[in-house]
Amino acid sequence: MLLMTGMFTVCLTSCNDFLDEKPSKTASLVVTTTDQLQALLNNYTNFFRESNGTYISSTDDYGLLHPIYDARPMAYAMYAVQLATWDTQYLPNNVLANPWPEEYKKIFTANMVLGNIDRVTGSEQDKKQLIADAHFIRAYSYFQLVNTYCLPYTEQNKQELGLPIKKSVSFEEPAQRQTVADVYALIESDLAEALKIEIPLQQSGRLRHWRANTAGVHGFAARYYLSRNDYNQALSYADKALAEHSSLVDYNTEMRYGRTGNVPVNGVPVTINYPYTHDNQSDMTDMLNWKEFLYFRSLSHSSWWYVPSPELLDLYDKENDLRYEYHIVENYSYDRGAINPAYSYPGYIFFFKDRLPSGPTVAEMLLIKAECHARLDQVGTAMNAVNQLRAKRLKPGAAVNLLASTKDEAIRKILEERRREMPFTHRWQDIRRLNNNDYALDDVELTRQFYSYSSSSVERDGGLKTYTLPKNSRRYAAPIPQTEIISSQGVIVQNTY
């Protein structure tokens, strides 16, 4: 359901700071202090995870490849096939990799804070920061949802169906979908409140990126205004974020291999080398210590295989780009079971096998800065910004610096760099904005070849079929899961295609 009965109790009982407090007659814990609300928001395990199959499987970064399917059909779950071919017929009945309930839970928690802030004791400064934090959480989650289930914001689309807008924890609040314009108005309103945050990213020598902070909110604002093709605003906020925190991980000195895996293939053990950030799934240390985070969020993939498309792989300088060396893990298909028959294909690995950094980072800010300067025809400054990032990602030498003599060349090269640096996590949002700006040279039409399928199985007998997602397709709004429509008793209506 959109908002589940008893969620208030669940959220509170997840916070150890006040588990021993006296429960009310409803078995819910009564919120009386700002410390209790702080405990809710400090529990980063309720916020960092983002499960969005559309972001993972629906772009040209993802490889839905029939040779992989032929060798290992289980490599692709049916929902991944449906997402990767932009299905509308079967996908609404598949609830996997669906961010709707996950993001609305975060919105519910934010609304809980806002709804209780005037009733609790605590300093006015604490209340002020909690308000900004809650508005930030809500803005971030609505931005994720609107980029998944709604058409891109344009003059033509702004009155199309958006999302149910929830600004309280009341079950009486209407569940009808508001317009796209209404959702964006809420995001901008929440962002304006979030920008009042006064808590810096770094405190006592430690990055506090799992909570709202000045650099993180500026970073999200830069991302938001880039999505609206407002390059001056996006550049301004990217600069503000970088002015506060600009540390990059130097892949030449700070990256290394970690654990190795040995998989028997035709009776012979094959070694698979993983980056050190993969080392321990249950240990959050590598993610929490990733010094480029401005705000900690991680995209999660249940299949544990981000399959890079051949097109994505071809974007890397395989000799000099250390992102290819450490994140493109050769023979990863063996890890995923493609050993009988044996089929070798890489996987993209960052944090363990299922997690990629998706929150605003220093690298993203440099790429936003570079792109905005290029869009504003400031080519030299644009290339300086993107090469600042590349200096920490490539081996020293002539390959580090990208060169461009025209605006068009600079934009193309910077967009390619975005894909190399942030595959899967940003590409869906990027394609949506690129297809709806006033610059035709960056338009993207997606095409794949794969087998036909039914609701439950892939049908290889009919050969390959071509699937396309045209620039102005209504399928840029993913189908809403049928479970949400049913639980709302039809108040929430499905997208039309």
- pLDDT tens for residues 38-87? 999 999 999 999 999 999 999 999 999 999 999 999 999 999 999 999 99
Single-letter amino acid code for the residue at 279 = D
What does the domain layout of the chain look like in residue ranges? 7-51+92-234+478-487
Cα distances from 433 to residues 297, 429, 472, in angstroms, run 21, 6, 11
Per-residue pLDDT, 30: 84
Residues 6+ apart with CB under 8 A from 150: 160, 161, 162, 163, 180, 183, 477
| CA atoms 478, 482, 486, 487: torsion sign | negative
DSSP three-state, residue 245:
coil
33: β partners: 121
Tokens 């959050």, located at residue: 284
User: How would residue 171 be classed by pLDDT, with cut points 50, 70 and 90?
Assistant: confident
Instruction: Give exposure, 137-150, as e/b (b: 16+ Cβ within 10 Å).
Output: bbbbbbbbbbbbbb
Q: Is the peptide bond before 23 cis (omega within 30 degrees of 0)?
A: no
Short-list 495, 231, 275, 259, CA closest to 381: 231
Residue carrying the six token digits 């709806």: 436
Average pLDDT (23-30) is: 49
Examine the pLDDT at 299 and tell me if it is beyond 50: yes
CB atoms near residue 279 (< 10 Å): 14
Residue type at position 214: T
**Overall average pLDDT of the 405-423 stretch:** 98
What number does CATH give the domain 7-51+92-234+478-487?
1.25.40.390
CB of 218 within 8 A of CB of 196? no
Confidence class for position 29, pLDDT limits 50, 70, 90? low
Average pLDDT, the chain: 93
The pLDDT, as a whole number, for residue 13 is 40
How large is the angle between the packed helices 214-227 and 231-244, nearest 10 degrees? 160
pLDDT in tens, 313-333: 999 999 999 999 999 999 999
Instruction: Give the containing element (helix H, strand E) for 139.
Output: helix 124-149
**Residue that has been written with the tokens 């999302």 in this structure:** 163
Mean pLDDT on 179-190:
98
Q: What is the mean pLDDT of residues 194-198?
A: 97
pLDDT of 368 reads 99
pLDDT at residue 487 in the model: 94
Is 199 within 8 Å of 129 (Cβ atoms)?
A: yes
Q: Scanning the structure block, which residue is given the tokens 């079929």?
A: 465
Percentage of the chain beyond pLDDT 90 is: 91
Position 282 scores a pLDDT of 78
Q: What's the mean pLDDT in 406-410?
A: 98
Q: Is 2 helix (H, G, I), strand (E, B) or coil?
A: coil
Q: 28 pLDDT exceeds 80?
A: no
Angstrom distance (rounded) from CA 225 to CA 232? 9
Across the range 457-473, mean pLDDT stands at: 96
pLDDT recorded at residue 95: 84
**pLDDT by residue (tens digit) across 368-393?**
999 999 999 999 999 999 999 999 99
CA-CA distance, 250 to 366, in Å (whole number)?
15
Task: Answer yes or no: are the C-beta atoms of 367 and 383 closer than 8 Å.
Answer: no
Q: Is the pLDDT of residue 17 over 60?
A: no
| Tokens standing for residue 104 | 């609305």
Q: What is the pTM of this model?
A: 0.94
For residue range 390-401, list pLDDT tens digits in order. Answer: 999 999 999 999
Sign of the alpha-carbon torsion through 489, 52, 352, 268: positive
Average pLDDT over residues 265-288: 90
Question: What pLDDT is recorded for position 283?
Answer: 81
pLDDT of residue 217: 98
Tokens standing for residue 3: 């908002």
Rg value, the chain, Cα: 23
3-state secondary structure of 196: coil
Question: Residue 281 — pLDDT band, cuts 50, 70, 90?
Answer: confident
The residues, any chain, with a CB within 8 Å of residue 440's CB and separated by 6 or more, are: none
pLDDT tens-digit map of 328-359: 999 999 999 999 999 999 999 999 999 999 99
What is the pLDDT, as a whole number, of residue 259?
86
